[in-house]
Chains A and B, each alone.
Chain A
Amino acid sequence: MASITSLSRVDSENHPLNMLSVVPGVLLLAGIGFAGKILERSINSYAKTHHRIFPNVEYVLWAIIIGLLISNTLTIPKLFQSGIATYEFFLKIGIVLLGARFVLADVLKLGGISLALVVIEITVSLALMTLLGRLFKLKPKLTSLLAVGSSICGVSAIIAAKGAIDADDEDSSFAIAAILALGALALFTFPVIAHGLHMNDVSYGLWAGLGVDNTAEATAAGALYSDAAGKVAVLAKTARNAMIGFVVLAYAIYWAGRGQADKVTSKAAFLWKKFPKFVLGFLLMSLLVGFHTFSKPQVASLGNLSKWAFLLTFAGVGLRTNFRDMSKQGLRPFIVGAVGEVLIAGLTLGLVVGANRIWGL
Chain B
Amino acid sequence: MSTDTSTKTSTKRAPFSLDTWAVIVAIIMALAVKFDIFKSVPW
A residues adjacent to B (C-beta < 8 A): 9-17, 88-89, 92-93, 96-97, 100, 153, 156-157, 159-160, 163-164, 241, 244, 273-278, 280-281, 284-285, 288, 293-294, 297-298, 300-302, 304-305, 307-308
Closest A residue to B23 using CB positions:
A281
Query: Which single member of B17, B22, B34 contacts A298 (CB below 8 Å)?
Result: B34
Q: Write out the residue numbers on chain B whose beta carbons fall within 8 Å of the beta carbon of A293.
A: 34
Known: A275-B2, A277-B2, A297-B40. 14 other contacts (CB 8 A): A9-B3, A10-B18, A11-B5, A12-B19, A96-B22, A153-B1, A156-B1, A160-B4, A274-B4, A277-B17, A278-B19, A284-B27, A304-B42, A308-B43
Q: Is the CB of B1 within 8 A of A157?
A: yes
Pull 9 A–B residue pairs with CB atoms less than 8 Å apart, ordered by A. A11-B5, A13-B9, A156-B3, A164-B4, A274-B1, A277-B22, A278-B1, A288-B30, A298-B33
Closest B residue to A288 using CB positions:
B30
Q: Write out the residue numbers on chain B whose beta carbons fall within 8 Å of the beta carbon of A11.
A: 3, 5
Q: Write out the residue numbers on chain B whose beta carbons fall within 8 Å of the beta carbon of A277.
A: 2, 17, 19-20, 22-23
Query: Which single member of B23, B25, B33 contacts A301 (CB below 8 Å)?
Result: B33
CB distance from B7 to the nearest CB of A (A): 8
Q: Write out the residue numbers on chain A whose beta carbons fall within 8 Å of the beta carbon of B14.
A: 12-15, 17
Q: Write out the residue numbers on chain A whose beta carbons fall within 8 Å of the beta carbon of B17.
A: 12, 15, 277
Q: Is the CB of B25 within 8 A of A93?
A: yes
Q: Write out the residue numbers on chain A whose beta carbons fall within 8 Å of the beta carbon of B26.
A: 92-93, 96-97, 281, 285
Q: Is the CB of B13 within 8 A of A93?
A: no
Instruction: Kindly state the separation between the CA atoms of A226 and B19 in the bound complex, as whole angstroms.
Output: 27
Q: Is the CB of A160 within 8 A of B3?
A: yes
Query: Which single member of B1, B6, B30 contacts A241 (CB below 8 Å)?
Result: B1
Instruction: Kindly state the separation between the CA atoms of A305 and B40 in the bound complex, as whole angstroms.
Output: 10
Q: Is the CB of B5 within 8 A of A304?
A: no
Q: Is the CB of A13 within 8 A of B2?
A: no
Q: Is the CB of A88 within 8 A of B27?
A: no
Q: Is the CB of A13 within 8 A of B11?
A: yes
Q: Write out the residue numbers on chain B whose beta carbons fall within 8 Å of the beta carbon of A294.
A: 30, 33-34
Q: Is the CB of A304 within 8 A of B43?
A: yes
Instruction: Kindly state the separation between the CA atoms of A157 and B1 in the bound complex, as whole angstroms.
Output: 8
Q: Write out the residue numbers on chain B whose beta carbons fall within 8 Å of the beta carbon of A89.
A: 18, 21-22
Closest B residue to A294 using CB positions:
B34
Closest A residue to B30 using CB positions:
A302
Closest B residue to A155 using CB positions:
B1
Q: Is the CB of B30 within 8 A of A13?
A: no
CB distance from A281 to the nearest CB of B (A): 4
Q: Is the CB of A12 within 8 A of B18?
A: yes
Q: Is the CB of A276 within 8 A of B19?
A: yes
Q: Is the CB of B11 within 8 A of A14?
A: yes
Q: Is the CB of A92 within 8 A of B3?
A: no
Query: Which single member of A14, A92, A275, A305 contacts B22 (CB below 8 Å)?
Result: A92
Q: Write out the residue numbers on chain B whose beta carbons fall within 8 Å of the beta carbon of A302.
A: 29-30, 33, 41
CB distance from A350 to the nearest CB of B (A): 28
Instruction: Kindly state the separation between the CA atoms of A159 and B11 in the bound complex, as whole angstroms.
Output: 17
Q: Is the CB of A301 within 8 A of B40?
A: yes
Also in contact, A13 and B33, with CB within 8 A (given A88-B18, A277-B23, A281-B26): no
Instruction: Kindly state the separation between the CA atoms of A27 and B42 in the bound complex, as whole angstroms.
Output: 19
Q: Write out the residue numbers on chain A whose beta carbons fall within 8 Å of the beta carbon of B6.
A: 163
Closest A residue to B5 using CB positions:
A13
CB distance from B12 to the nearest CB of A (A): 8
CB distance from A213 to the nearest CB of B (A): 13
Q: Write out the residue numbers on chain B whose beta carbons fall within 8 Å of the beta carbon of A93.
A: 22, 25-26, 29
Q: Write out the residue numbers on chain A whose beta carbons fall within 8 Å of the beta carbon of B8.
A: 163
Instruction: Kindly state the separation between the CA atoms of A100 and B30 in the bound complex, as whole angstroms.
Output: 9
